[in-house]
Amino acid sequence: MQETVNIKDFITEFKEVLSEKVIKKLNPVYNPESEDEFDKKTEKNCARLLRQLFPNQLLAAKALVKGLKKENRKNLFLTAEMGCGKTIMAIATAVSLKKRPRVLVTCPPHLVNKWIREIKQTVRNAEIYNLNTQNVISQLLSLRKLKKRKIKPSNAEFYIIGRERMKQRYGWKPAYIKRTTRKTNPETGKIEKTIILLCPNCGKHIIDEKHISLSEHALAKKKHFCIHCKNPLFEADRNRRRHAEPAWFIKKYLKNFFDLAVFDEAHELKGENTNQGNAFGSIASATPHTLCLTGTLMGGYADNLFYLLYRTDPSLMAQDFRYKTGTGEWTAKYGVLETVTIEKEDEDNIYGRGGKTYTRIRKKPGISPEVLAKYLLDRSVFMRLTDICNELPEYNETVISIDMHEELRDTYNQLKENLITAVTKALRGGSRRLLGAYLQALLAYPDACRKELIITDPDDKTEIIADAPALIVDKTEKEKELLEIVKKEKQEKRNCLIYCTYTHTHDVTHNLKRLLEENGINTFILSQNISTSKREQWIKDKVKQANGYVCMICNPELVKTGLDLIEFPTVIYYQTGYSIYTLRQAARRTWRIGQDKDVRVYYLVYRDSMQETAMRLIATKLETSLAIEGDLTDRGLVALSEAGEGLIYELARTLINNIHTPGSLDYYWKDYRKTEAETDSYLTPKTIRAFSMDRRKTVTLEQAGDKIIWIEIRENKRRKKRSTTIKVKQGELEKIARKTGQTVFQLTLPLDV
């Protein structure tokens, strides 16, 4: 009988064997255990920097330099989680490629000043030029003169340009000659005027490939070329605001002028025919080496990688796929396609019976591992934040389940019953369009119970699907818990960052601000009205103005990328939502290089509610993803778990089937944290038991590598067994280990407390 094994269980059980096989099969370009003179030279170059790299950052820089310079790779990817220091690793790579390199950096516009600041702090005597200005072409013209004169740089030169500026192009309008002809209509005898369009170069009639006359509207919609003389049928529009096209200029006049092009947040340049994507391709073709920085290399779909790879290494991709038509073949070979066939029942037509069949093919999340092996492994350096966590303070997460007060619990249960009926009806009808709205109501109402909730049918606004009354309550149980945590953190002078997912219809941010300020806590709200480029400085100014303890409330979507929030060592998720990616990204925004305090993250959820169910599912998905994805990307399979029908559908299923999973939410979160520790350490967990002087008492601890997952103190007393679980810092255990000189040791603990 054939046995089916879950992939997660398979990898968990055989990870040691799989790891050995992988190490034997792979022959990496750079191996830290067998460095040569080239690697030592790179290390010396990095040692000259004003800021020194952490050990694992240095290893990544060595690998990148060796791949680009010694192996002469055209492009490499640095895929690293936020906070790993991608910027400083890219700078170190650039200055190690050449003694005085010329480097072009393309980044999101709000990161231009950050790049300039980091280069100044890292490279001695670096010459930095901000190309993110309106006179960018004037600056590029001066560089063209340098290229013609073959003038070498006296110091390392960095040129920074925002990708919005990079993509800009001139305004255009169609170019043609109008000619009016007069012909006599043989039927009516009247003279009729006809306007024809002629090519301004050859004077012939403008037609398309099918010999059909092109109208003025068709010429204005798309750039055309004359099929007779191949002359462009468009010209610059001098009446429009003039924009330069830096990417085109660099490709035409500055080819090989720059030694390296660095593309920050490269995954955002994956579009097929976007201005940003085309500009990316132009610059990549004009430089001998490119380095793409990203934390989310694969967004879940196979075609996300197609144009990134084609623009960075066209010779490799052209062997199997065409640029304009290859996405379909690529997706069919390496992606997941779903074929949906709809058959309508036979009907009695006038002259016989017949039915109809419709077939629809659509993309689904998923990508073949062959892509990793063939296109990425020999072109990528992967890094997770845990690779440098020895240089970071401790990171602790706590999930707190809170009981609703009686009135809220009764109202919530009634709302839940009504929505179960609506969700069941929607699923039976094959519609999942409204699942999100229904489930959002269950997630948001307990926190916004002071407002009346009415859910109507979108097709018939008069039909009420479910409703819940506005409750009169001084402080909810979750607000009390929040206040208690904030007061405790204030005593330790730790600023708090409070995340609220629902900031529109079910907004609670202003209520929380009022509550905190009434209790003497300085609080401000970050809204989406603050532009992306100004948010980081705006937050710093607010913290400075507070001149003491402060709390910030915001939606996690506003800060999940591009911001350093080390001023807030305590993060409180007042609302979590169900986006795994946003939850992990925003939670770790404060745990990064430069943080000097332990980071504490609290997740507040109501017990026996959809909030608790969502967190339980998130923990399960994260555990599965970590077991499989390893170091591929900071999103990886997380994107697959939440894409499409993912979490929304699973939440709906648990709702209508009234599924109760065994174990508390704390149990699931502890299980995920254990898996994360195992993934980070690459070692099989070890369970160590030590006996106290009293043989009835035992201490059990489980560790993965050098990370303590949990310690349990168990005391047998007569026929009853008392079990207590405590947490201990890794540093404290290391002190004990150093004193005893061994990893397995006896402990005498005061258990009779």
What is the SS3 string spanning 594-640? Answer: CCCCCEEEEEEEECCCHHHHHHHHHHHHHHHHHHHHCCCCCCCHHHH
Most confident of 239-253, 353-367, 533-547: 533-547
- Report the C-alpha gap between 44 and 47 in whole angstroms: 5
Range of weakest confidence among 25-39, 210-224, 414-428, 472-486: 414-428
Which DSSP helix (H) or strand (E) runs through 208? none
Length of the chain: 753
Confidence of residue 564 (pLDDT cuts 50, 70, 90): confident
| 491: Cβ contacts below 8 Å, ≥ 6 apart | none
Give the residue with greater pLDDT, 729 vs 35: 35
Check whether 204 has a pLDDT greater than 50.
Answer: yes
Determine how many CB atoms are found less than 10 A away from the CB of residue 622.
23
Q: Does 23-168+245-334+368-385 match 392-405+471-681 in CATH topology? A: yes
Backbone angles phi, psi at 200, to 5 degrees: -70, -15
**Alpha-carbon 665 to chain mean position:** 25
In this prediction, residues 115-130 reach a mean pLDDT of 94
- Report the C-alpha gap between 568 and 98 in whole angstroms: 39
> How many CA atoms within 13 Å lie on the side-chain side of 204?
11
Range of weakest confidence among 131-140, 288-297, 397-406, 425-434: 425-434
> How many CA atoms within 13 Å lie on the side-chain side of 570?
21
- Report the C-alpha gap between 64 and 686 in whole angstroms: 35
Secondary structure class of 132 (helix, strand, coil): coil
Distances (CA, A) of 267 to 270, 294, 350, 416: 6, 6, 56, 40
Which DSSP helix (H) or strand (E) runs through 103? strand 102-107
Confidence of residue 683 (pLDDT cuts 50, 70, 90): very low
Give the residue with greater pLDDT, 60 vs 649: 60
The pLDDT of residue 354: 56
Degrees to nearest 5, angle at CA 427 with 425 and 433:
105
The pLDDT of residue 242: 58
Check whether 109 has a pLDDT greater than 80.
Answer: yes
| 440: Cβ contacts below 8 Å, ≥ 6 apart | 502, 506
Determine how many CB atoms are found less than 10 A away from the CB of residue 151.
10
Convert 523-532 to b/e letters by CB count within 10 Å (16 or more is b): bbbbeeeeee
The pLDDT of residue 568: 93
Tens digit of pLDDT for each residue in 618-638? 776 665 444 444 443 334 434
Using alpha carbons, select from 621, 744, 654 the residue that is nearest to residue 691: 744
Tens digit of pLDDT for each residue in 160-195? 998 888 876 666 788 888 888 877 777 777 777 888
Tens digit of pLDDT for each residue in 295-351? 777 655 677 788 888 888 888 888 888 877 777 888 888 877 777 776 665 555 555
Check: pTM over 0.85? Answer yes or no: no
Burial zone of 26 (CB within 10 Å; 0-12 exposed, 13-18 middle, 19+ buried):
exposed
Mean pLDDT of the chain: 77
The pLDDT of residue 207: 86
Confidence of residue 244 (pLDDT cuts 50, 70, 90): low
Check whether 273 has a pLDDT greater than 50.
Answer: yes
- Report the C-alpha gap between 619 and 633 in whole angstroms: 18
Architecture of domain 392-405+471-681: 3-Layer(aba) Sandwich (3.40)
Contact 300, 271 (CB under 8 A): no
The pLDDT of residue 43: 93
Tokens of 305: 């990688």
Check whether 691 has a pLDDT greater than 50.
Answer: no
Check whether 646 has a pLDDT greater than 60.
Answer: no
Task: Tell the residue number behind the tokens 């030590």, with chain if given.
Answer: 690
Give the residue with greater pLDDT, 658 vs 38: 38
Task: Tell the residue number behind the tokens 């990171």, with chain if given.
Answer: 395
Give the residue with greater pLDDT, 673 vs 360: 360
In this prediction, residues 680-688 reach a mean pLDDT of 42
Determine how many CB atoms are found less than 10 A away from the CB of residue 90.
25
- Report the C-alpha gap between 133 and 148 in whole angstroms: 24
> How many CA atoms within 13 Å lie on the side-chain side of 309?
27
Query: What is the Rg, in whole angstroms, of the alpha carbon atoms belonging to the chain?
Result: 31
Beta bridge partners of 293: 78
- Report the C-alpha gap between 100 and 98 in whole angstroms: 6
DSSP state letters, 642-673:
HSTTHHHHHHHHHHHTT---SS-HHHHHHHHH
The pLDDT of residue 161: 93
Secondary structure class of 523 (helix, strand, coil): strand
Confidence of residue 477 (pLDDT cuts 50, 70, 90): very high
Check whether 528 has a pLDDT greater than 90.
Answer: no
The pLDDT of residue 456: 76
Using alpha carbons, select from 631, 507, 629 the residue that is nearest to residue 575: 507
Give the residue with greater pLDDT, 570 vs 245: 570
Give domain limits for the chain. Answer: 23-168+245-334+368-385, 172-236, 392-405+471-681, 406-468, 686-740
Determine how many CB atoms are found less than 10 A away from the CB of residue 222.
10
Task: Tell the residue number behind the tokens 């070329």, with chain if given.
Answer: 225
| 268: Cβ contacts below 8 Å, ≥ 6 apart | 108, 163, 276
Tens digit of pLDDT for each residue in 375-414? 888 888 988 877 776 777 888 888 888 999 999 999 988 8
Handedness of CA 434, 435, 437, 442 (dihedral sign): positive
Check whether 77 has a pLDDT greater than 90.
Answer: yes
Check whether 91 has a pLDDT greater than 80.
Answer: yes
Handedness of CA 527, 530, 535, 539 (dihedral sign): negative
Tokens of 678: 């195992």
Check whether 243 has a pLDDT greater than 70.
Answer: no
Handedness of CA 168, 171, 174, 177 (dihedral sign): negative
Confidence of residue 641 (pLDDT cuts 50, 70, 90): very low
- Report the C-alpha gap between 445 and 415 in whole angstroms: 9
The pLDDT of residue 574: 92
If you ran DSSP here, which 8-state letter would residue 125 be given? Answer: T
- Report the C-alpha gap between 305 and 106 in whole angstroms: 19
The pLDDT of residue 322: 83
Check whether 751 has a pLDDT greater than 60.
Answer: no
- Report the C-alpha gap between 144 and 165 in whole angstroms: 19
In this prediction, residues 200-220 reach a mean pLDDT of 85
Let me know if domain 23-168+245-334+368-385 sits in CATH 1.10.357.10: no
- Report the C-alpha gap between 490 and 752 in whole angstroms: 33
Tens digit of pLDDT for each residue in 696-723? 555 555 544 444 445 555 555 444 444 4
Distances (CA, A) of 101 to 126, 144, 253, 529, 712: 10, 16, 19, 40, 56
Give the residue with greater pLDDT, 98 vs 710: 98
